[in-house]
């Protein structure tokens, strides 16, 4: 074999997959159509957000790269949902696109055992193909490598497809359409057709992106300015030295400060904007029938917003910088496939954009995706052994969802090569587990986007606890060692010490030592500070003056402990729920389980079980259409065997 693993695609899934496999000691070839576009932020120049920020920190905790790339390229930092509970808060960073791409490529090129090759993959090489190895007896065929557009045959024991929007991609701008995966970049033609010939269930999805505007043509005085917050790192490889931020540039162990921070701007559409769009809706390929793929319901185009919500007189738009070395600005909230003259007219109707010059028009892109029900929770194909898929190839949407699947696919390709158990994260362990379980158990009829509401254990899956949950898993796999592990164990010891201080220290009785004007603590005199923190009226700032020793610990560590104590009762409840679910997850169902011959199953349950082929009884119980009686029958059968 030429390589242990071939990764197809240089986007966020491909980056994480190839780095994970190479860091674990295996030879990897990353094949991409254009190495200059590795790590491109194709749409929004931002990383993170609600639940997505959690995914980024989980990828980092396992030993991935996205958090580090974000820290290197960050030009604005904010925590979203500050006014709401900690379970639905998440960090988001505006990034410099060019810096992010350069850092991503540098990470790949600097990784031992990883090579980059420029070509287009057009088909797989599989046992049973003419000129390939013999068909495996009694099992799935095995992937042996790939064929490329220039006729190269490259062999590998595993292949990971991370094709993004490029597999049979086609862009649309009004009447114009072309085989491209991004504006100005050719589609990856051939692979989608080849997978269909091999019997893979492929579908068509659609996504879009807004116009980019020349920054010097925008009137910012007509818009609301949106400043960022004091930046904090996404990566756990940085020790925060104080209550906020990264501290002085030369502070030991903190790494470099981020890039200069810049503002974003907020404006709105108006009735005139909506009238322009409505009067030209017949010219939209989305409404004219040229686009057949399903688009993301939670990230609609501007024409979708106007047509679906006619009662709304305005929609917010966020004008965001693409980077420090360019004047281009991104129109967040205004993706479109309308003709360029219509785009110009509706943009000019918006406050602050009356004279705006379009640098790049908005467009829609339609592409092939692989039905994720055709994958095991390891992200390995049910049809071809050794073939994995990640990112938009699996019907998901977003950089963060792609990166999460990418690191999981890279790890599981290696585990297959090692003959070791795969990594399948539970829904109570990580948003990554929720994401992959949803895709491979429920499938998706639209581009899948992660939300906090999808996670039933979201209080335990806060972004600040990702390292506690997942770094030990990364350590077991071989991705989190050395300095990373030392930093983790130091932090874990610090968190334990803070909790112990708060358990031992009591709220003083009313008297000279009682904090003045601190009414929230009055009912808790004599209780431990840890107990007092469970009261929603008690704030960390009420507690800190009573424990001078806390000044020795980073503010981020204090925040983490305070939240754990404040929500301890809810967390215990979630742990009990996860434990009950875990009992079902512990009951294994082989991928070759003969549901067709099992008497007593409901007809719909049998059909769904045969389609999904769950690996555990827990996964089987989450399949829509599988009844409680079906689960009871399977449980009884597994207990007998």
> Within a domain: residue 509?
yes
Is 451 found in the same domain as 378?
yes
> In this predicted structure, what is the pLDDT of residue 511?
62
Q: Is residue 488 part of a domain?
A: no
| Predicted local distance difference test score (pLDDT) of residue 514 | 59
What's the mean per-residue pLDDT of the chain? 91
Q: CA 15 to CA 410: how far, in whole Å?
A: 10
Same domain, 14 and 147: yes
Q: Are residues 63 and 178 in the same domain?
A: yes
54 and 26 assigned to the same domain: yes
SS3 440: helix
> H or E stretch including 531?
helix 529-532
* Residue 140 within a domain: yes
Banded model confidence at residue 241, pLDDT cuts 50, 70, 90: low
Q: Are 359 and 269 contained in the same domain? A: yes
For residues 540 and 455, membership in a common domain is answered with: no
Is the same domain home to 276 and 349? Answer: yes
Among 184, 210, 214, 217, which Cα is nearest to 328's?
214
Nearest by Cα to 443 from 364, 368, 369, 385: 369
Domain boundary among 533, 549, 572: 572
Q: Strand pairing partners for 114? A: 28
Question: What is the count of structural domains for the chain?
Answer: 4
| Interval 560-612: pLDDT, tens | 999 999 888 888 888 888 787 788 888 888 788 888 888 888 989 889 888 89
Question: Are residue 225 and residue 294 in the same domain, yes or no?
Answer: yes
Query: Distance between CA atoms of 594 and 603, rounded to whole angstroms?
Result: 14
Residue 476 lies in a domain: no
* pLDDT confidence band for 636 (50 / 70 / 90): confident
Do 413 and 316 belong together in one domain?
Answer: no
Which tens digit of pLDDT belongs to each residue from 499-549?
Answer: 999 999 988 876 655 565 677 888 888 899 999 998 888 888 888 888 999
What share of the chain has pLDDT > 90, as a percent?
A: 71
Is the pLDDT at 247 greater than 70? The verdict is no
Kindly tell me if the per-residue pLDDT of 639 is higher than 50.
yes
Do 229 and 341 fall within a single domain? yes
- SS3 at position 50: coil
Compute the C-alpha angle 131/133/138, nearest 5°: 135
Residue 255, pLDDT > 50, answer no
Helix (H) or strand (E) holding 202: strand 202-209
Q: Residue 249: inside a domain, yes or no?
A: no
pLDDT of residue 254: 37
Which letter does DSSP use for residue 187 in this model?
A: -
- Give the pLDDT mean for 200-210: 96
Asked if residue 243 has pLDDT above 60, the reply is no
Do 529 and 599 lie in one domain? The reply is no
The segment with the largest mean pLDDT, out of 289-298, 444-453, 524-533, 622-631, is 444-453
Given 315, 341, 365, the domain boundary residue is: 365
Reading the block at residue 30, the tokens are 């990353």
For the chain, percent of residues with pLDDT exceeding 70: 94
Q: Among all chains, which residue has been given the structure tokens 């409680």?
A: 628
Gap between the Cα atoms of 451 and 296, Å rounded: 13
Instruction: Return the CATH number at 630.
Output: 1.10.150.570
pLDDT at 246: 41
Region 222-241: what's the mean pLDDT? 88
Mean pLDDT of 412-428: 96
Interatomic CA distance for residues 479 and 152, integer angstroms: 32
Q: Pick the last residue of a domain from 333, 365, 397.
A: 365
**Do 523 and 460 belong together in one domain?**
no
For residue 15, which of 400, 359, 378 has the smallest C-alpha distance? 400
Number of helices (H) and strands (E) in the chain: give both, helices first: 20, 22
Q: Which residues pair with 182 in a beta bridge?
A: 185
The token pair at 285 is: 């390929």
Q: Which domain holds residue 175?
A: 3-206+367-469
- Specify if 563 maps to a domain: yes
Q: What is the pLDDT of residue 1?
A: 87
pLDDT tens by residue, 326-370:
999 999 999 999 999 999 999 999 999 999 999 999 999 999 999
Residue range 88-146, pLDDT digits in tens: 889 999 999 999 999 999 999 999 999 999 999 999 999 988 766 655 545 789 999 99
Kindly state whether residue 607 falls inside one of the protein's structural domains: yes
Within-domain flag for 479: no
Supply the pLDDT for residue 544: 87
pLDDT at 279: 97
Residues 6+ positions from 295 with CB-CB distance below 8 Å? 205, 206, 207, 208, 286, 301, 304, 364, 446, 447
Domain holding 306: CATH number?
2.40.30.260
CATH no. for residue 381?
A: 3.50.50.60
Distance of CA 153 to the CA centre of its chain: 32
Tell me the C-alpha distance between 467 and 6, whole Å.
29
């Amino acid at each position: 074999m030429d390589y242990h693993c071939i990764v197809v695609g240089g986007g966020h899934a491909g980056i994480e997959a190839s780095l994970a496999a190479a860091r674990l000691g295996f030879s990897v070839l990353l094949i991409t159509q254009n190495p200059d576009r590795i790590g491109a932020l194709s749409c929004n120049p931002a990383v993170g957000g609600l639940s997505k920020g959690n995914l980024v920190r989980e990828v980092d905790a396992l030993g991935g790269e996205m958090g580090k790339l974000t820290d290197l390229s960050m030009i604005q930092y904010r925590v979203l949902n500050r006014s709401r509970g900690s379970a639905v808060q998440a960090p988001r960073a505006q990034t410099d696109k060019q810096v992010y791409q350069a850092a991503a490529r540098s990470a790949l090129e600097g990784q031992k055992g990883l090579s980059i090759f420029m070509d287009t993959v057009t088909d797989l090489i599989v046992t049973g193909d003419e000129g390939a190895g013999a068909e495996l007896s009694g099992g799935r065929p095995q992937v042996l490598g790939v064929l490329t557009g220039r006729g190269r045959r490259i062999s590998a024991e595993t292949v990971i497809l991370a094709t993004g929007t490029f597999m049979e991609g086609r862009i649309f701008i009004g009447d114009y359409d072309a085989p491209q995966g991004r504006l100005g970049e050719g589609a990856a033609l051939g692979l989608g057709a080849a997978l269909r010939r091999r019997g893979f269930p492929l579908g068509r999805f659609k996504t879009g992106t807004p116009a980019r505007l020349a920054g010097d043509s925008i009137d910012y005085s007509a818009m609301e300015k949106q400043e960022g917050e004091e930046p904090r790192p996404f990566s756990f490889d940085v020790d925060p030295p104080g209550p906020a931020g990264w501290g002085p540039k030369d502070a030991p162990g903190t790494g470099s400060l981020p890039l200069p921070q810049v503002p974003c701007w907020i404006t709105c559409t108006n009735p005139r904007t909506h009238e322009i769009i409505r009067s030209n809706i017949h010219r939209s390929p989305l409404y004219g029938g040229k686009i057949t793929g399903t688009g993301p319901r939670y990230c609609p185009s501007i024409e979708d917003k106007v047509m679906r919500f006619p009662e709304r007189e305005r929609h917010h738009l966020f004008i965001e910088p693409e980077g420090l070395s360019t004047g281009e600005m991104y129109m967040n909230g205004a993706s479109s496939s309308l003709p360029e003259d219509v785009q110009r007219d509706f943009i000019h109707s918006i406050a602050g954009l009356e004279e705006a010059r379009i640098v790049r028009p908005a467009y829609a892109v339609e592409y092939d995706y692989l039905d994720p029900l055709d994958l095991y929770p390891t992200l390995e194909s049910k049809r071809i052994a050794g073939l994995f898929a990640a990112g938009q190839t699996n019907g998901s949407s977003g950089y963060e969802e792609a990166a999460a699947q990418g690191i999981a696919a890279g790890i599981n390709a290696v585990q297959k090569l090692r003959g070791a158990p795969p990594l399948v994260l539970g829904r109570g362990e990580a948003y990554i587990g929720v994401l992959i379980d949803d895709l491979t158990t429920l499938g998706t009829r639209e581009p899948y986007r992660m939300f906090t509401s999808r996670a039933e254990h979201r209080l335990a899956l806060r972004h600040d606890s990702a390292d506690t949950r997942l770094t030990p898993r990364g350590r077991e796999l071989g991705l989190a060692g050395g300095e990373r592990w030392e930093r983790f164990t130091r932090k874990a010891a610090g968190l334990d010490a803070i909790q112990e201080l708060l358990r031992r220290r009591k709220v003083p009785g009313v008297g000279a030592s009682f904090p003045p004007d601190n009414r929230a603590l009055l009912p808790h005199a004599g209780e431990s500070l840890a107990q007092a923190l469970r009261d929603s009226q008690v704030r960390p700032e009420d507690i800190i003056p009573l424990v001078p020793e806390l000044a020795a610990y980073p503010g981020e560590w204090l925040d983490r402990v305070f939240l754990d104590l404040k929500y301890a009762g809810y967390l215990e409840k979630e742990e009990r729920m996860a434990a009950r679910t875990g009992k079902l997850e512990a009951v294994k169902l082989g991928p070759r389980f003969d549901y067709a011959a099992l008497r007593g199953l409901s007809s719909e349950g049998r059909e769904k079980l045969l389609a999904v082929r769950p690996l555990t009884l827990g996964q089987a119980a989450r399949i829509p259409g599988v009844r409680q009686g079906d689960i009871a029958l399977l449980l009884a059968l597994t207990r007998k065997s």
